[in-house]
């Protein structure tokens, strides 16, 4: 379990992206958060397939191309790129778990898989920053 560090102990690695890429990445980030919100909302009303579609299209492997992830990944430190790729994989695994929940109704696996997606958000945010 991760606990919030004090500002004084900010040990994140600063990654220097060109301004356009920074903007692009931050726009992606805001969309990621919005996607998570929509996914949890859809799960709460048992719209599992809809949750799966959003996860796949906006966070999953399908999102990698539309978000220019391979291009951005090349400019990232290796560890950061690995976490990013793992996030896309985890989101695609969540999509599968959500589609299974559509069939068997059990939410546990879907929530477990969603937590693994969010684990990658947390992992990257602990380790890296692009703003000073």
* Count of residues of this chain found to bind ligand HEC when the rule CB under 6 A is applied: 20
Task: Using the Cα atoms of residue 11, residue 12, residue 15 and residue 19 in order, give the sign of their dihedral.
Answer: negative
The Cα–Cα gap between 25 and 35 comes to: 15
Q: How far is residue 81's CA from residue 47's CA, in Å, rounded to a whole number?
A: 31
Q: Taking the complex as a whole, how short is the minimal distance between the CB of residue 112 and ligand HEC, in angstroms? A: 16
Residues 55-114 that bind ligand HEC (CB under 6 A): 59, 80, 83-84, 87
Question: Which pair of structure tokens corresponds to residue 92?
Answer: 């695609």
> Shortest gap between Cβ of 14 and ligand HEC (angstroms)?
8
C-alpha to C-alpha distance for 92 and 114, rounded to whole angstroms: 10
Nearer to ligand HEC, 10 or 104 (CB): 10
Q: Considering beta carbons, is residue 59 or 98 the nearer one to ligand HEC?
A: 59
Nearest C-alpha neighbor of 25 from the set 120, 129, 132: 129
**Site residues for ligand HEC, window 2-41 (CB under 6 A)?**
26, 29-30, 32-33, 36
Q: How far is the CB of 105 from ligand HEC (least distance, A)?
A: 25
Retrieve residue 34's tokens.
Answer: 């919005």
16 vs 104, which CB is nearer to ligand HEC? 16
Applying CB under 6 A, the residues found at the interface with ligand HEC are: 26, 29-30, 32-33, 36, 59, 80, 83-84, 87, 117, 120-121, 124-125, 128-131
């Amino acid at each position: 379990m991760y606990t919030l560090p004090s500002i004084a102990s900010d040990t994140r690695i600063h990654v220097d992206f060109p301004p356009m890429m920074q903007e692009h990445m931050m726009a992606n980030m805001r969309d990621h958060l919005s996607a998570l919100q929509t996914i949890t909302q859809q799960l709460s009303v048992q719209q599992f397939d809809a949750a799966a579609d959003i996860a796949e299209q906006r966070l999953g492997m399908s999102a990698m191309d539309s978000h220019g992830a391979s291009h951005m990944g090349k400019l990232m430190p290796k560890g950061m790129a690995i976490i990013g790729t793992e996030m896309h994989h985890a989101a695609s695994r969540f999509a599968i778990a959500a589609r299974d929940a559509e069939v068997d109704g059990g939410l546990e696996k879907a929530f477990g898989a969603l937590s693994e997606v969010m684990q990658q958000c947390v992992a990257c945010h602990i380790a890296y920053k692009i703003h000073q």
